[in-house]
């Protein structure tokens, strides 16, 4: 009985959706990557920045755009369509912070915004820092830098 | 011109891999972003990620893997000069701009806007 049930479930689970999703996300993510390269070149040209600093300027631009779109409520609509293409780039990081800040605003400035702003973004920072210490100490001890 | 193509391919590839993980496992976006930060930090070994940035330009700077790479890159720069204490001193050297701007803009926008449901 259970085998038969599983069989039916397997038959009706959409398979192509996963592949179609992945290809769409590839396309959208790629467009975002190419657009930010275009933006980087514009910053290099307009402000005479070196490429490294222009890269930081691109990151800041995307963070501010994503935060404003989140506050306007547009970003959530976009995420439901573009999925990972907006979560994996730095826009997802900015979105998680702004949405947490907006969500907990009503609980006060300190206990609401202050206590919850890193609620979702904290995991990225936590595992980033811990992995840096682990990899860093290993690299210093074994290959010396 | 090549940089545009490589930026498209790399950024698209990273997003596609994360979408495949999200669709085929029970992991949430929080798990996937944490995983990618750790992968980015690991790829700083022997300057691998620096080479990717050289070829893919902003396409490699935008994904969250770059956050892990910048964290360990800043830390190792100072650690090479000052020893192990450099890890603690330099860890936010390159990412401070991103984090501080994200915090300030989130705070200001939370004061100005109301959440929409």
Tokens standing for residue A127? 């595992």
How many residues would you count in chain A?
145
Tokens of B117: 């449901």
Measured CA to CA, the distance from residue B92 to residue B115 in angstroms comes to: 31
Domain assignment present for residue B28? The answer is yes
Give residue-wise pLDDT tens across range B60-74: 999 999 999 999 999
Q: What number is the ipTM of this complex? A: 0.92
pLDDT of residue A13: 65
* Domain of B78, in residue numbers: 2-112
Whether A121 contacts B64, CB under 8 Å: no
Alpha-carbon gap: B97 to the closest alpha carbon of chain A (Å): 7
Residue B30 inside a domain? The answer is yes
Find, among B20, B18, B23, B17, the residue nearest to B33 by Cα: B18
The pTM (predicted TM-score) of the whole model is 0.90
Whether residue B110 and residue A105 make contact (CB cut-off 8 A), yes or no, is yes
Candidates A132, A138, A142, A145: best to mutate against B (most CBs of B within 10 A) is: A132
In a domain, residue B21? The reply is yes
B117 located within any domain:
no
Tens digits of residue pLDDT in A19-72: 888 999 999 999 999 999 999 999 999 999 999 899 999 999 999 999 999 999
Give the residues across from B63 on adjacent strands.
A89
Q: Can you tell me the distance from the alpha carbon of A145 to that of B77, in angstroms, rounded to the nearest whole number?
A: 9
Taking CB atoms and an 8 Å limit, are A101 and B114 in contact across chains?
A: no
> In total, how many domains does chain B have?
1
Question: Residue A41: its pLDDT value, please?
Answer: 94
């Amino acid at each position: 009985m259970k085998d038969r049930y599983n069989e039916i479930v397997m038959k009706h689970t959409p398979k192509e959706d996963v592949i179609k999703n992945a290809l769409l996300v590839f396309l959208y993510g790629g467009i975002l990557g190419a657009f930010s390269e275009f933006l980087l070149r514009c910053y290099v040209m307009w402000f005479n920045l070196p490429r490294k600093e222009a890269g930081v300027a691109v990151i800041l631009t995307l963070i501010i755009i994503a935060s404003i779109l989140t506050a306007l409520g547009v970003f959530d609509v976009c995420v439901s369509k573009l999925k990972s293409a907006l979560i994996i780039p730095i826009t997802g990081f900015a979105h998680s912070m702004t949405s947490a800040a907006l969500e907990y605003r009503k609980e006060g400035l300190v206990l609401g915004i202050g206590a919850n702003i890193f609620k979702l973004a904290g995991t990225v920072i936590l595992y980033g820092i811990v992995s840096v210490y682990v990899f860093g100490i290993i690299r210093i001890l074994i290959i010396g830098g | 011109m090549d940089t545009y193509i490589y930026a498209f391919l790399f950024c698209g590839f990273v997003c596609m891999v994360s979408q495949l993980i999200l669709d085929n496992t029970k992991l949430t976006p929080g798990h996937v972003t944490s995983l990618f930060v750790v992968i980015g930090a690991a790829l700083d070994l022997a300057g691998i990620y620096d080479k990717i940035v050289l070829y893919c330009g902003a396409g490699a700077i935008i994904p969250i893997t770059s956050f892990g790479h910048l964290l360990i890159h800043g830390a190792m720069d100072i650690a090479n000069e000052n020893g192990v204490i450099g890890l603690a001193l330099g860890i936010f050297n390159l990412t401070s701009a991103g984090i501080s701007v994200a915090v300030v803009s989130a705070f200001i926008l939370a004061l100005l806007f109301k959440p929409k449901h």
